[in-house]
Amino acid sequence: MKQHKSLRDQVVVVTGASSGIGLATARMAAERGARVVLAARNGEALARIQSEIEAASGRAIHVVADVGRRADVQAIADRAVAAFGGFDTWVNVAGLTIYGPLREVTDEDHARLLQTNLWGTVFGSLVAVEYLKERGGALINVGSVASDLAFPFQGMYCASKHAVKGFTDALRMELEQDGLPISVTLVKPTSIDTPLPQRARNYMDREPTLPPPIYPPEEVAHAILHAAVHPQRDIFVGGGGRVLVGLKEFAPGAYDKLAPAIIAFQQRSEPPRDPEGALRDPVGDGAAKGHQPGFVRRKSYYTRASLQPAKLNPMKTAGLVGIGLTLAAGLLGRARGGRRL
């Protein structure tokens, strides 16, 4: 498929735009000249973000919506058509997570997470496709490295992201079969410095966090907006996550033995601050970045190279694999030592 219009000529819809990756994507799209439709549950945060964009000479509208309800998602599309005459790219970002053993999480909490992460993506995709089938454009779904991996203590999150991958792949095939001019991209971030852990429903006795290496949300936004112009099937954000996927494919039993280390890397030393999180009601002040301890990388060289495949040469790839195996060995050492952050 040929590339789409430049961003400055596009209208971009972003769900989950009140914080994290969604907010970083909306800001970056506006900075690059796109007209932006901001959608999330937190109306106060959205209004503030819209004002911020407009103060910088950008153009934006906001729609308060719960993506787990199809009527709300349809309202996002309708507002985009009314305000800007339509849209060219639709980005499904909205998502939540739950920390804790699967057997301890209530059925209601599991269902609520799936309603947002899976059904929100399904509704957003189907509503977007119904409009884009006539004019063409890009559908971009934000999955996760958890679309290919499992993490203990985030089991239903992983299940939702596996489901998002299966749905996205099947939808892409159907659109290609029908010859529709819509590109479908699945973006798979690894650990990203967003408020996701602080907004999580938490069943643990510790404050949740993310395992390293950690990347800034702008790195995911850059990948998303690249796909809005230059269609790409899948994009991993973070070379460390890509290598762990390779390890799981090559040696699944060895990956399973990392469970104690993965659990430890998801726990900080202090007790939980807000165990209820944003699973049912929006919380937070609309920040793109979280409060992750430790080092946050400036960019992912692997991801930047993957967006320009000619630059991802075999020697660099081999080097990344070596780094990943070293990381896996370190994780395995943590697993045996049972250490916590």
Query: Does the structural domain 7-337 have CATH classification 3.40.50.720?
Result: yes
| 203-252 tens-digit pLDDT | 999 999 999 899 999 999 999 999 999 999 999 999 988 888 998 999 99
pLDDT for res 42: 96
Q: What proportion of the chain, given as a percentage, has pLDDT over 70?
A: 90
At 98, phi and psi to the nearest 5? -130, 130
The pLDDT assigned to 333 comes to 58
Q: Quick one: what percent of the chain has pLDDT higher than 90?
A: 82
Going by the DSSP 8-state scheme, the letter that residue 80 receives in this structure is H
pLDDT of residue 292: 80
Eight-state DSSP code of residue 136: -
Quote the tokens at residue 167.
């749905």
CA 158, distance to chain mean position in Å, is 12
Beta bridge partners of 188: 236
Structural element, H or E, at residue 141: strand 137-142
Q: Which amino acid is at 98?
A: I
What pTM did the predictor assign?
0.91
pLDDT the model gives residue 41 = 97
Q: Note whether 89 and 10 are within 8 A (CB).
A: yes
For the cut 90, the answer to whether the pLDDT of residue 118 exceeds it is yes
**Between 239-250 and 314-337, two packed helices, what is the crossing angle to 10 degrees?**
70
Positive or negative, the CA dihedral 201, 205, 211, 214 is: positive
Residues catalogued as catalytic: 157
pLDDT score of 308: 86
- What are 83's two structure tokens? 């305000």
Asked which of 8-17, 163-172, 249-258, 292-301 is least confident by mean pLDDT, the reply is 292-301
- Phi, psi angle pair for 92, to nearest 5°: -90, 105
Q: Is the pLDDT of residue 105 over 70?
A: yes
Predicted confidence (pLDDT) per residue in 36-52, tens digit: 999 999 999 999 999 99
pLDDT for 340 beyond 60: no
Task: Report whether pLDDT(314) > 60.
Answer: no
> What average pLDDT score do residues 11-23 get?
98
pLDDT at 312: 52
